[in-house]
Chains A and B, each alone.
Chain A
Amino acid sequence: MLVAGAVWTVVRTYNRLIRLRNQTQASWAQIDVQLKRRHDLIPNLVESARGYAAHERTTLEAVVTARGAAADSGLGVTDKAAAEDDLTAALGRLLALGENYPQLKADRHFATLQAELTTAEDKIAYARQFYNSAVQSYHTALEGFPGNLVSRLGGGHGRREYFEAGAPAQEATRVSFA
């Protein structure tokens, strides 16, 4: 009876760890999807801005460069977060051009892209929340008893990195573009 109980506990804990690990992966995939949506908006946004502020080359190129760096699929979680922070900061400067160029600000296409970007930023923020929540649950299960023992049986368990946005990114998501 005791042995059966122990085996049942081990199996249950093992399955839970697997489930939580998979959830962190699924949550990360959601972040990737949302980030890709944002990346897809950027070329159009840059093109729209170029039409009115062509001589702001530095700003425009900074956005393109930052997007290229953030879109690198080989980045880890921390590097990805840092690259996204850089991209958010560059985007902030690009959107600020609207203040200096009234025609750009009045452009309907540019305004639509800004709104879409806001939505994308919101979704990224929630996806990040889900991912970090999943990682936290996974870590709690991994470090608690009997998860700490069962995780040694296999399954490729280990700590995952949190997707932590830097201060500039947090500020950027709160900017109202409307």
Chain B
Amino acid sequence: MSLEAQFYWGGAGLFGLWLAAFGLALAATRNGTVHPRPASQEFGPEPEAPAVVALLANGWRSVDHAAAATLLDLAARGLVEVRQPADDPALSTVHLTGRAATDLTPYERRVLDRITEQAGESGAPIGAIAFRAQDRATSWNGALRREIVAEARSRGLSRPRFGVLAAGALAVGAFCPGVLLALGGLTGGHNLRAAVAVGVLPAIPLMYLLSRALGERATRQGLERAGHWAGVQAWLRAHEDFARLPPAAVAVWDRYLAYGTALGVTARTTRLLGFDAGDKRRVWSSYGGAWRPVRIRYPRLRPGFGAGTPRLLRLAGAAAVVVVGLVLFAALRRPEWAVTSGPDASHSLRRPGLLLTLGWVGIGLLAVAVAGRFGRGTLLVAFLATMPGNFASGHGWLSHGMDHPGLLPGETVAVVCFAAVAAYYLALAVLERRAPRTVTGEVLRMEPRRHPKAPRFLAVDTGDADRTVAWALPAGAPAPAPGTVVRLSVSVATRAVRSAEAVPA
């Protein structure tokens, strides 16, 4: 076996060895079994905070519902108050009681700060506690998790899944197969860049696996406490009412509601108290004075959304190209262009179906080029689009189509539709030239689009309506943060934002 082959086989062997070692490490560090204690209402002496209980109840994997449970715990301890003014618990509000908050853990302080930020002195609906941006929600919840984990570790309930040494060894080991493969590449005469690329490649999935496995695992004491809380969970779950309790029921059930939320048995309360990115179609806003829910519509399918005049003219031109192209094609084509009989009829490139399809696809390509959407895959799509016509070339109605004088029925429909589209875009282009309107309001949400060049959705509450339609913020423009009051210069026809400036508070 050549030296090159030996390096390659060695790399493959090390890859397998790493996977085996990783599997063994996973098996060795898996959580022990939680043995639930009998159902009981007792918290026990010096019970853990609900947030830590959430970590235990989620198998040390996540801290789902920990923030909501902490809010309820703060309410049970009299630091905040949850009020339900009407039958609908979704309209409940959260208020600060003004009681001095001492001896709070970092995560309790974080939750209280968030409530203070939203509620101020006058209170806020519980729905307004949610964040309006995914990245902020993710970062806030990440920090919360770290603080809860730190508390659990200090209580001896949790520990890192892998020690520093094991994690370091696995991380270094993940690059070893690549080193051998890179050496194999160099020995085989490949250049250094290719060898490095081959060397890095196997480390990517291995590092991904390792990063997914890093986390927390239970200690013996943690398993015992998890068993105790499993008993409390069974007790609370057996009380069917608990699943239907609203957040304001904390006034009656005190910490039981907080622990119930941490243990995942208070479905209704959990649904209403979210510290995530919230519902992007329904956002609570206090702009204009009073808190109220604002419904947001995102016009994803609206033609010309956010487009400027040049773009609108190009789109109108593309539609016009289709109209003119189809009319010209119908006027110019002759039945004698097609070959329908004779020995070569079935193989000829002049079969009626293929001719018609080529004409239509050609017009389409021209329109795409005028619209400025000619991309890498356009020709491939165009080629595939000719396939049905190519395979169905011998069909009777296609032969008849070539003989038909003037526009075919389908072409007539297309001409009418594209003429309407061209007129629509032209009208938008004309309206776009009008003086922009000024809109002032608070940014509710900023939603990115899948396509990086597409205009982003900017939902703004002007304070005078409970519904709003998102504006189109150009892809390159700086994005105002949710909660900022902005003055926008907008084009109503296309909902494009022409300029935006922050209004000082």
A residues sitting closer than 8 Å to B (CB atoms) are 19-20, 23, 26-27, 30, 123, 126-127, 129-130, 133-134, 136-137
Contact = CB atoms under 8 A, between A and B. Distances in A.
Nearest to B241: A133
Given A126-B256, A129-B252, A129-B253, A134 B41 contact: no
Given A127-B41, A130-B41, A26 B238 contact: yes
Interface string B39-50: 111100000000
A120 to B, nearest CB: 12
Interface string B227-262: 000000001001111000000000011101000000
Interface residues of B, number: 13
Contacts, number: 28
Interface in B25-65: 39-42
A137 B241 contact: yes
A26 B241 contact: no
Nearest to B38: A26
Interface string B101-138: 00000000000000000000000000000000000000
Given A23-B239, A130-B235, 17 more contacts: A20-B240, A23-B238, A26-B238, A27-B239, A30-B40, A123-B41, A126-B41, A126-B254, A126-B256, A127-B41, A129-B252, A130-B41, A133-B241, A134-B238, A134-B239, A137-B239, A137-B240
B72 to A, nearest CB: 15
The list of the 7 closest CB pairs from A to B, nearest first, reads A137-B240, A133-B241, A23-B238, A133-B239, A30-B41, A137-B241, A130-B41
Contacts of A20: 240
Interface of B: 39-42, 235, 238-241, 252-254, 256
A30 B234 CA distance: 14
Looking at chain A's contact residues, the main secondary structure is helix
Nearest to B39: A26
B334 to A, nearest CB: 65
A127 B235 CA distance: 11
Contacts of B239: 23, 27, 130, 133-134, 137
B344 to A, nearest CB: 63
